[in-house]
Amino acid sequence: MLTVSTVNVNGLRAAAKKGFVEWLAATGADVVACQEVRAEASRLPEHLREPDGWHTVHADCAVKGRNGVCLYSRIEPRATRIGFGEREFAESGRYVEMRLPGLVVASLYLPSGDVGTERQEEKERFMAAFLPYLGELRDKAAASGDEVVVLGDWNIAHAEIDLKNWKGNRKNSGFLPEERAWLGRVFDELGYVDVQRRLDPEGPGPYTWWSYRGKAFDNDSGWRIDYAVATPGLAERAVSAVVERAPSYDARWSDHAPLTVTFDWSPPA
């Protein structure tokens, strides 16, 4: 069995003070992908930078206090990679991957965007550059007999069942028609599979992010924007996908909840 988790920690040092350390110690995951780490790896305490029992790789952002992704793996990686070859995003702290036996696993933090601003233009440039890389990653992995899973905060709700207030968000970043169409290309043209939705095709949700404002969490008025996106061979072996929603608002250590997926899969002999 292989278990992977992904979570946007909304600042790793802050999350560590609220319960992330205890969660990491208790998780049964073989791989944990984190996004929005924010702190540079060199400024993280040892128990966060390289926890006992984990192999780690961190991708910092050149702008201090922004972005940042990392991977924790109980399985020793054969290789690691930061970035996906696009110069503009080489030091943006948005993508990192590990090559494990039989598997490429990545942590992605896709830009959030804001309609009518440079942030949205950055998001569009990222998507345009990242799509062909996903195709290359799929093809190279297939040639080696490997599977792929890209874990992370994709910052796009793909369908109406992926957010509570879809009618009110049709003109907002994260649910724009062109963003949803782009994610559709990841699935329909490139052949990747949204593992959560494969196991639970009906919805609504389960949501993975709730605003800290108002009663969003209490009312479960959330968005499903955190995904495990896998190649078909791996996706077909998925047996469970669970959103580890906190039992109460005050028990949260991030505005996102971990998504944990288990596959009936082991590396080829």
Cα gap 149→12, rounded to integer Å? 22
From start to end of 143-267, where are the E strands? 147-153, 193-194, 226-230, 238-243, 259-263
pLDDT tens string 31-45: 999 999 999 999 999
pLDDT-based confidence at 4, cuts 50/70/90? very high
| pLDDT the model gives residue 232 | 97
Residue 34 CA, distance from chain mean position: 7
Percent of the chain surpassing pLDDT 90: 97
> Active-site residue numbers?
153
pLDDT tens string 210-260: 998 889 999 999 999 999 999 999 999 999 999 999 999 999 999 999 999
H or E element, residue 15: helix 12-18
pLDDT tens string 163-208: 999 999 999 999 999 999 999 999 999 999 999 999 999 999 999 9
pTM exceeds 0.95, yes or no: yes
Residues 6+ apart with CB under 8 A from 229: 149, 150, 151, 154, 186, 192, 193, 194, 195
Cα gap 171→236, rounded to integer Å? 34
* pLDDT greater than 80 at residue 269: no
Q: Once rounded to an integer, what is the mean pLDDT over residues 56-67? A: 96
pLDDT tens string 92-115: 999 999 999 999 999 999 999 999
* pLDDT greater than 80 at residue 268: no
pLDDT-based confidence at 146, cuts 50/70/90? very high
**HSE, side-chain direction, 13 A CA sphere, residue 10:** 17
Between the CA of residue 122 and those of 8, 87, 126, 156, 211, what are the distances in Å? Answer: 20, 13, 6, 14, 23
Cα gap 8→170, rounded to integer Å? 23
H or E element, residue 135: helix 118-143
The CA R_g of the chain, rounded to the nearest whole Å, is: 17
pLDDT tens string 117-135: 999 999 999 999 999 999 9
- Go through 174-183 and write b for each residue having 16 or more CB atoms within 10 A of its CB, e for each that does not: bbbeebbebb
| pLDDT the model gives residue 213 | 86
H or E element, residue 3: strand 2-8
Cα gap 225→209, rounded to integer Å? 7
164 backbone φψ class: left, alpha, beta (φ>0; ψ -120 to 50): alpha
